[in-house]
Amino acid sequence: MGALAIKNVTKSFGDTHILKGIDIEIDSGQFLILVGPSGCGKSTLMNIIAGLEAPTTGEVHIGDRMVNNIAPKDRDIAMVFQSYALYPTMNVRQNIAFGMETRGVPKKEQEEIIARVAKMLQMDHLLDRKPSQLSGGQRQRVAMGRALARDPILFLFDEPLSNLDAKLRVEMRTEIKQLHHRLKTTIVYVTHDQIEAMTLGDKIAVMKDGVIQQFGSPQEIYEQPANLFVASFIGSPSMNFIPCHLAEQAGQIGVSLQSEGEARFVPLPNAAKLAGQVGKKVILGLRPEQFDAVENSENSLACKVHLTEPTGPDTMVLTQLNGIEICARLHPRDAKGPGETVRLKPDMTKAVVFDAETETRLA
């Protein structure tokens, strides 16, 4: 049995169904990300894992125990909250000690643990300060210290970086990942930020409307999104979705791409999965980095540049394909200015195809 298993968990308030049957299982030491837009039920699921809310149906297993009827404090978990939830009237030392005090950890052991945690997070000098005397990053650190002092079998992080500024967020992200490498404790991490999801997770559960849309490794989710929602949610800038019809030409199944009055048939990989569906309306998904600027090639299309967004290493070029605005990530040297024409060659080996009606991936 894994470190955490969620079995067919649902949560309803009257006729409002927040979670509609969640199944997740991860191994010990894994970093699980619950990601999705606000209102998708990820925080509710987190509260159910923590025991702060009860599931309507289903089971939660932590370690080898079914914990549905076990109080939060006895689940051997520790949680870091978005607002840090530091006790404002206690100093840092007391904040960290509070949980140990309630659990009856001997005073001497408490002090050892506080010293160890403070050293690990480099916050020795903050121990006697009140939360109001700390910066956002320091509060975040203390909140993590409080969780670490618990030495649990499962860490829960509820959007812990959302209240930090952009620079600090990236630093703390790295720090959390390093911490995980060092401790090898199982972590469940809730976020709405797809970059945090990609950079931190061993496993990602993408949620929407109380349903897990896809559960897999970051790379799987990025390269083989299960449906249109996952494809659009993960990746920045977002994947380009080009509506087209499946066609057959010279024995190959592909789609027709048009730009500036020029149409070109491009064959699709995984054609076997698409056999017999010629003529079907589909959506071709191409990530911005799957475009190359070329001088002249038979599989390229001339596209008029509408706008460029240089990011430094790459330049985002906004143009049109099949009448839809698309974004291509090009090397700055290849990017043309607005109004000029660039020849784009799509890398079809990683292209994905979605059913235009059901929005699930066909190939």
Partner 1 sequence: MPKFWRGVVYSALLLAALYYLLPLYVMVITSVKTMDQIRAGNLLSFPTSISFDAWSKAWSSACTGVECGGLKPFFWNSVRMVIPAVLISTSLGALNGYILSKWRFPHSELTFALILFGVFIPFQVVLLPMAQTLGWFGIARSVTGLVFVHCVFGLASTTLFFRNYYVGIPDELIKAARLDGAGFWRIFFRIVLPMSTPIVMVVLIWQFTQIWNDFLFGVVFSSGDSQPITVGLNNLANTSTTVKEYNVDMSAALIAALPTILVYVFAGKYFVRGLTAGAVKG
Q: For the chain, what is the radius of gyration of the CA atoms?
A: 25
What 3-state class would DSSP assign to 180?
helix
Q: Does 279 bind partner 1 (CB under 8 A)?
A: no
Q: Is 8 helix (H, G, I), strand (E, B) or coil?
A: strand
Stretch near partner 1 under the rule CB under 8 A, chosen from 69-77, 193-201, 204-212, 312-320: 69-77
The CB-of-19 to partner 1 minimum distance in angstroms stands at 18
Residue 155 vs 229, nearer CB to partner 1: 155
- Told to check if 89 binds partner 1 by CB under 8 A, we report yes
CA neighbours closer than 13 Å in the CB half-sphere of residue 329 = 16
Interacting stretch for partner 1, rule CB under 8 A, among 47-55, 201-209, 321-329, 339-347? 47-55
C-alpha distances out from residue 162 to 101, 189, 256, 274, Å: 30, 12, 42, 42
Contacts of the segment 117-123: beta carbons below 8 A, 24+ positions apart: 117/145, 117/148, 117/149, 118/145, 120/145, 120/148, 120/179, 121/145, 121/148, 123/92
**Which residue lies nearer to partner 1 by CB, 93 or 146?**
146
Q: How far is the CB of 211 from partner 1 (least distance, A)?
A: 25
Per the CB < 8 A criterion, the answer to whether 294 and 345 are in contact is yes
CB 256 within 8 A of CB 246: no
> If binding is defined by CB under 8 A, does position 297 make contact with partner 1?
no
One residue of 139, 208, 336, 343 binding partner 1 per CB under 8 A:
139
Q: Which of residues 95-114 bind partner 1 (CB under 8 A)?
A: 98-99, 102-103
Work out whether 50 is an interface residue with partner 1 (CB under 8 A).
Answer: yes
Show contacts of 262-269: CB within 8 Å, 24+ apart.
262/301, 262/302, 264/299, 264/300, 264/301, 266/299, 266/346, 266/348, 267/348, 268/348, 268/351, 268/353, 268/363, 269/348, 269/349, 269/351, 269/363
Contacting partner 1 (CB under 8 A), which of 10, 56, 82, 232?
82
Q: Which of 84, 157, 222, 354 binds partner 1 (CB under 8 A)?
A: 84
Least Å distance, CB 156 to partner 1, is 9
- Of residues 140 and 194, the one with the C-beta less far from partner 1: 140
Closest to 278 (Cα-Cα) out of 255, 312, 303, 305: 255
Are 77 and 50 in contact by the 8 Å Cβ rule? The answer is: yes
Give the Cβ contact number of residue 37 at 10 Å.
Answer: 13
Tokens 């993960």 belong to residue: 234
Using the structure block, give the residue that is written with the tokens 């790295």: 174
Q: 84 vs 215, which CB is nearer to partner 1?
A: 84
CB of 131 to partner 1, least distance (A): 7
Does 78 participate in binding partner 1 (rule CB under 8 A)? yes
* Tokens at 69, concatenated: 């009827």
Which of 101, 347 has the CB closer to partner 1? 101
The least distance separating partner 1 from the CB of residue 21, rounded to whole angstroms, comes to 25
Q: Tell me if residue 352 falls in helix, strand or coil.
A: strand
Number of shown-chain residues binding partner 1 (CB under 8 A): 26
174 is an interface residue for partner 1 by CB under 8 A: no
Is residue 52 involved in binding partner 1 (CB under 8 A)? yes
Which one of 16, 38, 69, 132 is in contact with partner 1 (CB under 8 A)?
132
Nearest distance from C-beta of residue 99 to partner 1, angstroms: 3
Which residue among 131, 218, 225, 235 contacts partner 1 (CB under 8 A)?
131
Nearest distance from residue 122's CB to partner 1, in Å? 22
Question: How does DSSP classify residue 101?
Answer: H
Which residues sit at the interface with partner 1, rule CB under 8 A?
Answer: 47, 50, 52, 72-73, 77-79, 81-90, 98-99, 102-103, 131-132, 139, 146
